[in-house]
Amino acid sequence: MKKQKEKKKHVNCPYCDEEIKAMNLPYCTACRVTIFYCPKCKKPTPREKKVCAYCGAEIK
């Protein structure tokens, strides 16, 4: 039986597109912009968006 390796999903800053290495930081370490995280999937989403690009959750 082969073990499946768990793939790490890369998440990028919605403003500068740099990879976010530590999730849930209050800002991007590359561009220093404050990051808003989707309340449902916890991935970084631009604050001005009405719908999360990852999970489709409504952003209020």
The model's pLDDT over 30-59, given as tens digits with 9 standing for 90+, comes to 998 888 889 899 888 888 889 998 899 998
CB 51 within 8 A of CB 58: yes
Top pLDDT among 31 and 8 is at 31
Q: What's this model's pTM, rounded to 2 decimal places?
A: 0.63
pLDDT at 19 over 70: yes
Residue keyed to tokens 């039986």: 1
